[in-house]
Amino acid sequence: MIEFLSQKLDWIDVDYWFYIFNDVSLVYIILPFFILELIRYAYLKRLNKNLILDSIANIITFGAFFLIEMIMGILAVTKVYFWIYENFSLPHLELNWATIICCILLADFAYYWEHRMMHRIGIGWATHTVHHSSEHFNMSVAYRFGPFDAILPIIFSLPIVMLGFDPILVLLSEVFVQVFQTLLHTEIIGKLTKPVEYIFNTPSHHRVHHGSNRQYWDKNYAGILIIWDRMLGTFEPEKEKVIYGISEPLRSVNPIKVFFHGITRFAKKLKQIKGFKNKALAFVKPPDWMSEQPAEINRKN
């Protein structure tokens, strides 16, 4: 086993398998599953105009997010990753199964913390609230992104590069973590067996994460492994029926409003806060923080 894990791999083979799992999964898993979800909605008589337009808005927000991600990737992210890799990393690690597995695990752990940050600081929630604002829960919601969702998490990825992992491997591992979560956005799959539910993130755990129910706020940040939440005190099982969305509902399927509503609401909040220092603190304080004023703004607004 040790010999197998330490066997040097060619990049062409590694890139091929990530391509199969990351990119092609859209064809052989995600789209077929989404069609199955639409059939289920129709059977339950829940397939309506709002759901269809909401799904379309989700895809449009993904297009805007992807454009920003591509521009950032070309102009900054990849260059920063390689600059750190060449100048500030530990000795570069060989490409083998051991380093691939370790990189995915580290990317998953980094995702937990970046996801937690997106919920717990003002500017993070201003962009991430877009993902939570849908009142539906299906595969299309997995593609509902905010303007800065590709930018803020970078600070959690750089330490992995500094450990000596190839930047491309880090990026591919991050995409793998994201693709895994795409499969969790469904109501079709109930709870799985106890060992799976205990170790891995599942549709049941992720439904909780998307709940606007008070006991479900800021729970189950996991990407692939739910054990991070169990270890760090942010786990909540699915008990009460999940009500999807945010506490101050968006009530719009306009993709432009969907994409920017978190930023516009954050800007309105800044106008209510007096003093430059307090305005600056609003970016890093929890989303319900309102300086010394009563915290009357809902946590999930």
Nearest-CA neighbor of 66 among 131, 128, 145? 145
Rg of the chain's alpha carbons, rounded to an integer?
20
Nearest-CA neighbor of 299 among 259, 258, 269? 269
Give a yes or no: residue 92 inside a domain: yes
pLDDT above 70: residue 301: no
Please give the pLDDT value at position 71: 82
Give a yes or no: residue 293 inside a domain: no
Label residue 295 by pLDDT band (50, 70, 90). Answer: very low
- The predicted model gives 160-184 an average pLDDT of 95
Please give the pLDDT value at position 5: 78
Give a yes or no: residue 82 inside a domain: yes
pLDDT above 70: residue 51: yes
What residues make up the domain containing 133?
8-284
Give a yes or no: residue 298 inside a domain: no
pLDDT above 90: residue 170: yes
Give a yes or no: residue 269 inside a domain: yes
Distance CA 219, CA 234 (A): 5
Please give the pLDDT value at position 290: 76
Please give the pLDDT value at position 206: 98
Give a yes or no: residue 289 inside a domain: no
- The predicted model gives 168-183 an average pLDDT of 94
Distance CA 275, CA 267 (A): 14
Helix 167-182 with 97-120: angle, nearest 10 deg: 60
User: pLDDT tens digit string along 274-287?
Assistant: 999 999 999 999 99
pLDDT above 50: residue 297: no
Average pLDDT, the chain: 92
User: pLDDT tens digit string along 86-131?
Assistant: 999 999 999 999 999 999 999 999 999 999 999 999 999 999 999 9
Distance CA 35, CA 54 (A): 15
Give a yes or no: residue 299 inside a domain: no
User: pLDDT tens digit string along 190-238?
Assistant: 999 999 999 999 999 999 999 999 999 999 999 999 999 999 999 999 9
Label residue 296 by pLDDT band (50, 70, 90). Answer: very low
Give a yes or no: residue 273 inside a domain: yes
Distance CA 63, CA 159 (A): 28
End-to-end CA gap in the chain: 50
Residue 211's contacts (CB-CB under 8 Å, 6 or more residues apart) are 217, 242, 243, 244
pLDDT above 70: residue 298: no
Distance CA 22, CA 29 (A): 11
Please give the pLDDT value at position 291: 59
How many domains is the chain built from?
A: 1
